[in-house]
Amino acid sequence: MEINSEKKGNCLSISAKGRLDTVASREFMKWTDNNLGEDIKDVVLDCSDLTYISSSGLRVLMTIYKTITPRQGTLSLKDLTPQVGEVLNITGMASLFNIE
């Protein structure tokens, strides 16, 4: 999985490319731990190139959500692929995030 990001003020925009499966989730969790500083309030995740998400990937999204919610922040998921959107809908997690 390829991860790119851009920080603007208290917002972190992330683009993820590839599969957010068990192996990639470990990498993404480490990346998140290193880049989701206390100054970050809002996170926008561009999912246009995210082809798959597993339960491990969903756990990473929940970790981000639980980190920024106490800061009155939001996690926005942008340009969901049909596959990722379906997983979020089936699990009921789509209602937790801002879907753009």
Q: How many whole angstroms from its chain centre is CA 75?
A: 7
SS3 content of the chain, % helix, strand, coil (to 5): 45, 35, 20
Confidence of residue 31 (pLDDT cuts 50, 70, 90): very high
pLDDT score of 86: 95
Residue in the structure block whose two tokens are 């939001």: 74
52-95: per-residue pLDDT in tens?
A: 999 999 999 999 999 999 999 999 999 999 999 999 999 999 99
What predicted TM-score, i.e. pTM, was given to this entire model?
A: 0.91
Q: 9: domain range?
A: 2-99
Q: How many domains does the chain have?
A: 1
First to last CA, the chain: 22
- CATH number reported for the structural domain that contains residue 7 in this entry: 3.30.750.24
What's the chain's average pLDDT?
95
